[in-house]
Amino acid sequence: MKFHLILFNFLIINLLTSSPSSSAQSLSTFTSSNSPWQPSQNKTLVSPRSAFAAGFRHFPGSSNLYTFSIWYNNISDQTIVWSANWAIPVQASASLNITSNGQLRLTNGSSGPTIWSTPTSVSSNSTGLILTDDGNLMLGSWQSFDHPTDTFLPNQTFGNDTVLVSRNGKFSFNGSSLVFNGSDSYWTAANSFVSFGVDGLVQHNGGNPIILADFGQNRTRRLTLGDDGNLRFFSFDPDKHSWAIVWVAVLEICRIHGLCGPGYICFSNGLTLSGYECVCPPGFRRSTGSDSCVRKNPIIDMGKSKFLRLDYVNYSGGSNQTSINTLNLANCRSKCRLNQRCLGFGFKYDMFGYCVLQLDRLLNGYWSPGTEMTFYLRVDYSETDPSNFTGMSEVLNTTCPIQFSLPDPSAESDRTTRNIIIITILFTTEIAGAGLLFWAFLKRYVKYRDMAQTLGLGLLPTSGPKRFSYAEIKLATKDFSEENIIGKGGFSDVYIGKLQDSRPVAVKCLKNVTGGDAEFWGEVTIIARMHHLNLVRLWGFCNEKGRRILVYEHVPNGSLDKYLFRSSHNVSDGIDTTNETEAMIGLKQKPILDWNIRYRIALGVARAIAYLHEECLEWVLHCDIKPENILLGDDFCPKVADFGLSKLKKKEQIVTKSRIRGTRGYLAPEWVKNDSITSKVDVFSFGMVLLEIVTGARNLIQGPSAVASEEWYLPHWAFEMAIEERRMEEILDCQIKHAYDDKVHFKLIDRMVKTAMWCVQERAEMRPSMGKVAKMLEGTVEIMEPPKPTIFFIAGDN
Ligand SMILES: *[C@@H]1O[C@H](CO)[C@@H](O)[C@H](O)[C@H]1NC(C)=O
Ligand SMILES: *[C@@H]1O[C@H](CO)[C@@H](O)[C@H](O)[C@H]1NC(C)=O
Ligand SMILES: *[C@@H]1O[C@H](CO)[C@@H](O)[C@H](O)[C@H]1NC(C)=O
Ligand SMILES: *[C@@H]1O[C@H](CO)[C@@H](O)[C@H](O)[C@H]1NC(C)=O
Ligand SMILES: *[C@@H]1O[C@H](CO)[C@@H](O)[C@H](O)[C@H]1NC(C)=O
Ligand SMILES: *[C@@H]1O[C@H](CO)[C@@H](O)[C@H](O)[C@H]1NC(C)=O
Ligand SMILES: *[C@@H]1O[C@H](CO)[C@@H](O)[C@H](O)[C@H]1NC(C)=O
Ligand SMILES: *[C@@H]1O[C@H](CO)[C@@H](O)[C@H](O)[C@H]1NC(C)=O
Ligand SMILES: *[C@@H]1O[C@H](CO)[C@@H](O)[C@H](O)[C@H]1NC(C)=O
Ligand SMILES: *[C@@H]1O[C@H](CO)[C@@H](O)[C@H](O)[C@H]1NC(C)=O
Ligand SMILES: *[C@@H]1O[C@H](CO)[C@@H](O)[C@H](O)[C@H]1NC(C)=O
Ligand SMILES: *[C@@H]1O[C@H](CO)[C@@H](O)[C@H](O)[C@H]1NC(C)=O
């Protein structure tokens, strides 16, 4: 029956296509003797293996206008990859001739004005126009590959003067920068782009190639500059018969200049990666005539104006973008107030004192939760609109520290300025050369290609977190079945699952999550942006039917505690008692980790946390570093889990259970002593973990020997043994004590112990930054003799 239907269809199609009036003529070459070529002729020039075709195509949305274009001939959507005349489509009477001097010329009508032509310098003895299987249209020495339009193909090479231009003509890409309107650059690549292959390897003029998300599969690929100003790599998925985006230049669409008119704030609701809205700021409304926002109440007297605070908003494009460099908000504001042309100013709560006045115009406004930027918009004194862009202080308040406080714009003093300086200096970046170390590390331990595929670690991020549908998640976790549960907690339940492409994942269903959809999306974007070999990778999320779900890579070997502590004592005093790996691991005997692996785990974790603290510039504190949150991947490559989530936890949860976050035994004294919480709390917890890695003993719970008592304190004991009495072997994990060779391992372990001692200092300012800790472990900085850590007890449970 089915067969008959197919046969029937086949006949119909045959009948239709073979009717003489519409028979499309396909050429393998076009010469001057075929001239002229007109849109009405239904001729196409086809490449030898039919991969590409060239000819006249209807201009989108028009039945009588045409462009002369090249498109994929063997892909159903016939995407256009090159066009002679996007800007000036022609009518059916247009003609394309190869002139007597060997020039290709497109004219309006058979002898009208020239719309487009190849230069006259093209050699005249060329035999005709041909199209190659890589999509190159050639006439003599002229080739379309030298003059791309909006798309770039494999086998094409970016020259010095090659430029891609979006079809609407607004955006361009010159190999290194994306530019709006000819001069306004909004994205720059680290190295300029050269070429790419069908396998997804992208060459640029420096360093290692970029790896696309589906690297390794030979696919039909293209690089296209879209009309939205974003540059994307596409690869054609033959199973789904559609183009998949495997890389985008600008992850947050609103950072593209020129999407919204003057005054507007580009606002991405996060529903799709390419969706955005242009909204007017408070005090402004859409102008009726032009595409811009205008004041509801004009400022009559500049002296009598006030500033509305717009969190996470920034404008740029005023006539002077130089930062005044002041850490003092009042200072920045008075500079703006005194300038008649100042329409507002951007201020950043970081150590760099970013303060930029927007003079004369408000352009490129956008809202992004990924920045610490606040914009102060100048409005008339009589303006009554409240600011509806809030939330910055709330987020900082719940990042983990409760004591971060932002100065209120109306009441600051020298003291608040000093506080900002103190806070910001704590986040000083000092991890120079991290990239290099990172590569050295990779080369040693992970095969290059496996890295790209299993870790999803294209050097440039792929298209951001994927938005999963609830149905997909349901399918992956077998309808959230009990057997797939691997952890239950107050904040989340964790399931293992398998995506349709058979990638194993850990699915974390959050409960009691704070904030609206946009905020959730914002946080997820930030977490997903954190790419580090030693961080568990977030693949995507689901935000449907009131459910908030995160989808992580699945790390096969379980958590570190299972390897360190055989007689598993569980520490779960923390608020989040999720233990991802409990069920998965079962009681199966785990191999004993040797000294080199332990060292490598310590270093990897230190680097991951240093990255969170210092490179993300997002002020991400982990707040709950413990062996349970360190997962081990293939090769025992450590991966830190559960970072970035403290922001999402509901505030009540934090407040009701006192302000303490994290887990007893790993908590820094600041938590108890009500001191301000800084990145040094993570350093303290890490120090404890480091000691546990060396001793194989759970701190606070029991000593490795019979000395367990109320007074026993792991750092104290380890210090006395290893440093005061120089009996290192006394503190080593008895499981592998026998494998300890003083000559081989002493230096390594000595470094770990001394670093740990610095980390667990009671006073936060004594502890090194995490970047420094990583260097101490590497041995690239000298470790001074640590002072003895003071005994510090968490005072009971009261
Ligand atoms: C060209 O071909 C299309 C379909 O292949 C057909 O609809 C159209 O009528 C043809 N035009 C001419 C002038 O033959
Ligand atoms: C189209 O043809 C080219 C060249 O023959 C080939 O490499 C490519 O895989 C084909 N694409 C599809 C979708 O068949
Ligand atoms: C082409 O010619 C037609 C009339 O034949 C005219 O209406 C049209 O504006 C011309 N287009 C251009 C781009 O010159
Ligand atoms: C194109 O070729 C045709 C036929 O050879 C000729 O009649 C016409 O004038 C040519 N047009 C141009 C613009 O060269
Ligand atoms: C075209 O002519 C030039 C010189 O007249 C010659 O060097 C070249 O080889 C010729 N090209 C072809 C394809 O015949
Ligand atoms: C790329 O060019 C080489 C030679 O220049 C050719 O052999 C190869 O087939 C081309 N690749 C494609 C996809 O056409
Ligand atoms: C491209 O630029 C580089 C450096 O500016 C120069 O050395 C090279 O010759 C240029 N190449 C071309 C084809 O112009
Ligand atoms: C591309 O444009 C940017 C900004 O206009 C410029 O700084 C850069 O040098 C250009 N790069 C190349 C390779 O032309
Ligand atoms: C992919 O193409 C490259 C050449 O472009 C070739 O060396 C390689 O073997 C191909 N890989 C597969 C899996 O077909
Ligand atoms: C803020 O209010 C303005 C009008 O006062 C409105 O146009 C805009 O959409 C609002 N923005 C948000 C993010 O709600
Ligand atoms: C731009 O602003 C900076 C800082 O306010 C100032 O030093 C500089 O002179 C200004 N430049 C111009 C051209 O106004
Ligand atoms: C931040 O939290 C503290 C303590 O809970 C509170 O006093 C303060 O008002 C909060 N700040 C803001 C801006 O919400």
> Looking at residues 583-588, what average pLDDT do you find?
39
Ligand 10 pocket, 279 CB below 6 A? Answer: yes
User: Which residue would you say has higher pLDDT here, 384 or 392?
Assistant: 384
Residue 213: per-residue pLDDT: 62
Residue 336: per-residue pLDDT: 93
Contact criterion met (CB below 8 Å) for 66 and 57: yes
Atom of ligand 3 lying closest to residue 91 CA: 1
- The two three-digit tokens of residue 37, written as one number: 């070529």
Ligand 1 pocket, 19 CB below 6 A? Answer: no
User: Which residue would you say has higher pLDDT here, 560 or 325?
Assistant: 560
pLDDT at 351 over 60: no
Single out the residue of 620, 646, 649, 398 nearest to residue 514, CA to CA.
Answer: 649
Atom of ligand 11 lying closest to residue 335 CA: 5
- The two three-digit tokens of residue 693, written as one number: 């890695």
> Ligand 6: which of 70, 155, 199, 203 to mutate, most ligand atoms within 8 Å of CB?
155
Residues with catalytic roles: 624
Number of helices (H), then strands (E), in the chain: 17, 41
Specify the amino acid at residue 123: S
Instruction: Give 132 Cα–ligand 9 centroid separation in angstroms.
Output: 19
Atom of ligand 1 lying closest to residue 41 CA: 13
Residue 265: per-residue pLDDT: 93
Instruction: Give 51 Cα–ligand 2 centroid separation in angstroms.
Output: 6
Pairing of strands 284-286, 313-316: unpaired
CA distance 47 to 198: 18
Atom of ligand 3 lying closest to residue 115 CA: 13
Instruction: Give me the half-sphere count of Cα atoms (radius 13 Å) on the Cβ side of residue 189.
Output: 25
What Å distances lie between residue 418 and 146, 327, 355, 405, 411, CA to CA?
57, 9, 17, 12, 14
CA distance 249 to 255: 11
Residue 505 CB partners (closer than 8 Å, separation 6+):
476, 496, 497, 498, 499, 539, 551, 552, 553, 554
How would you list the strands of the sheet with 305-311, edge to edge?
Answer: 305-311, 373-380, 342-348, 355-359
What Å distances lie between residue 172 and 179, 228, 233, 795, CA to CA?
5, 11, 15, 62
> Looking at residues 18-47, what average pLDDT do you find?
78
Residue 205: per-residue pLDDT: 84
250-254, 722-726, 768-772: the lowest-pLDDT one: 250-254
- Calculate helix-pair angle for 680-695, 595-610, nearest 10 degrees: 170
User: Which residue would you say has higher pLDDT here, 72 or 2?
Assistant: 72
Atom 2 (ligand 5) nearest CA: 125
Query: 480 and 368, same structural domain?
Result: no
Q: How confident is the model at residue 207 (pLDDT cuts 50, 70, 90)?
A: low
Q: Is the peptide bond before 36 cis (omega within 30 degrees of 0)?
A: yes
CA distance 629 to 443: 25
pLDDT at 255 over 90: no
Atom 12 (ligand 6) nearest CA: 134
Dihedral in degrees, nearest 10, Cα atoms 186, 192, 194, 197: -70
Neighbours of 500 (CB within 10 A): 8
Residue 17: per-residue pLDDT: 37
Domain assignment present for residue 260? The answer is no
User: Which residue would you say has higher pLDDT here, 753 or 463?
Assistant: 753
- The two three-digit tokens of residue 175, written as one number: 């190999």
Query: 673 and 536, same structural domain?
Result: yes
CA distance 413 to 330: 8
High-pLDDT (> 70) share of the chain, %:
73
Ligand 4 pocket, 97 CB below 6 A? Answer: yes
Ligand 11 pocket, 324 CB below 6 A? Answer: yes
99-113, 153-167, 252-266, 275-289: the lowest-pLDDT one: 99-113
Specify the amino acid at residue 130: I
Contact criterion met (CB below 8 Å) for 256 and 196: no
Dihedral in degrees, nearest 10, Cα atoms 570, 576, 580, 582: 20
> Looking at residues 202-210, what average pLDDT do you find?
76
Query: 369 and 471, same structural domain?
Result: no
pLDDT at 273 over 50: yes
Binning the chain into helix, strand and coil, the percentages to the nearest 5 are: 25, 25, 50
Specify the amino acid at residue 333: R
Ligand nearest to the CA of 145: 6
Single out the residue of 108, 70, 116 nearest to residue 92, CA to CA.
Answer: 108
pLDDT digits over 591-644, tens only? Answer: 788 888 888 899 889 988 887 776 554 456 777 888 989 998 877 788 998 876
Query: 640 and 491, same structural domain?
Result: yes
Q: Output the furthest CA–CA distance in the chain (Å, rounded).
A: 102
Instruction: Give 138 Cα–ligand 5 centroid separation in angstroms.
Output: 15
Ligand 9: residues whose CB is within 6 Å? 197-199, 218
Q: How confident is the model at residue 370 (pLDDT cuts 50, 70, 90)?
A: low
Ligand 1 pocket, 471 CB below 6 A? Answer: no
- 508 assigned ligand-binding residue: yes
Domain of residue 128: give its range: 24-147
User: Which residue would you say has higher pLDDT here, 569 or 425?
Assistant: 569
Query: 740 and 639, same structural domain?
Result: yes
Cα angle 174-176-182, degrees, rounded to a multiple of 5: 45
Neighbours of 769 (CB within 10 A): 21
- The two three-digit tokens of residue 522, written as one number: 């914002």
User: Which residue would you say has higher pLDDT here, 424 or 386?
Assistant: 386
CA distance 170 to 600: 50
pLDDT at 199 over 50: yes
Residue 486: per-residue pLDDT: 82
Q: How confident is the model at residue 745 (pLDDT cuts 50, 70, 90)?
A: confident
- Averaged pLDDT of the chain: 76
Phi-psi region of 379 (alpha: psi -120 to 50; beta: other; left: phi over 0): beta
> Looking at residues 319-335, what average pLDDT do you find?
86
User: Which residue would you say has higher pLDDT here, 425 or 22?
Assistant: 22
> Looking at residues 4-24, what average pLDDT do you find?
42
> Ligand 4: which of 110, 114, 115 to mutate, most ligand atoms within 8 Å of CB?
110
Q: How many residues does the chain have?
A: 798
Instruction: Give 163 Cα–ligand 8 centroid separation in angstroms.
Output: 10
> Ligand 11: which of 322, 332, 357, 359 to mutate, most ligand atoms within 8 Å of CB?
322
> Ligand 11: which of 316, 320, 321, 340 to mutate, most ligand atoms within 8 Å of CB?
320
Encode 12-59 in three state secondary structure: HHHHHHCCHHHCCEEECCECHHHCCECHHHCEEEECCCCCEEEEEEEC
Domain assignment present for residue 718? The answer is yes
Ligand nearest to the CA of 115: 3
Domain assignment present for residue 579? The answer is yes
DSSP H or E run through 771: helix 770-778
Query: 498 and 356, same structural domain?
Result: no
Pairing of strands 504-510, 547-553: antiparallel
pLDDT at 519 over 80: no
Number of domains in the chain: 3
**CATH of residue 60:** 2.90.10.10
Query: 625 and 503, same structural domain?
Result: yes
**Most confident region among 94-98, 318-322, 685-689 by mean pLDDT:** 685-689
Instruction: Give 388 Cα–ligand 10 centroid separation in angstroms.
Output: 6
pLDDT at 554 over 70: yes
Contact criterion met (CB below 8 Å) for 198 and 154: yes
Domain assignment present for residue 580? The answer is yes
CA distance 358 to 526: 27
**Most confident region among 410-424, 447-461, 706-720 by mean pLDDT:** 706-720
Contact criterion met (CB below 8 Å) for 210 and 458: yes
Name the domain boundary from 379, 408, 435. 379
Query: 500 and 367, same structural domain?
Result: no
pLDDT digits over 154-182, tens only? Answer: 989 998 899 999 999 999 999 999 999 99
> What is the pTM for the complete model shown?
0.59
Single out the residue of 207, 185, 181 nearest to residue 194, CA to CA.
Answer: 207
Residue 122: per-residue pLDDT: 62
Contact criterion met (CB below 8 Å) for 398 and 651: yes
309-313, 424-428, 742-746: the lowest-pLDDT one: 424-428
Name the domain boundary from 357, 379, 401. 379
Rounded to a whole number of angstroms, the CA Rg of the chain reads 31
- Calculate helix-pair angle for 742-759, 770-778, nearest 10 degrees: 170
Ligand 12 pocket, 654 CB below 6 A? Answer: no
Atom of ligand 6 lying closest to residue 132 CA: 14
Residue 483 CB partners (closer than 8 Å, separation 6+):
none
Query: 489 and 353, same structural domain?
Result: no
Query: 269 and 134, same structural domain?
Result: no
Residue 25: per-residue pLDDT: 82
Contact criterion met (CB below 8 Å) for 682 and 769: no
**CATH of residue 722:** 1.10.510.10
Pairing of strands 342-348, 355-359: antiparallel
Atom of ligand 11 lying closest to residue 323 CA: 4
Task: State phi, psi for 627 to the nearest 5 degrees.
Answer: -55, -30
- The two three-digit tokens of residue 3, written as one number: 């067969």
Query: 472 and 360, same structural domain?
Result: no
Domain assignment present for residue 511? The answer is yes
**CATH of residue 287:** 3.50.4.10
- The two three-digit tokens of residue 363, written as one number: 């352009």
pLDDT at 734 over 50: yes
- The two three-digit tokens of residue 222, written as one number: 């293209």
CA distance 603 to 622: 17
Name the domain boundary from 147, 175, 209. 147
Query: 703 and 582, same structural domain?
Result: yes
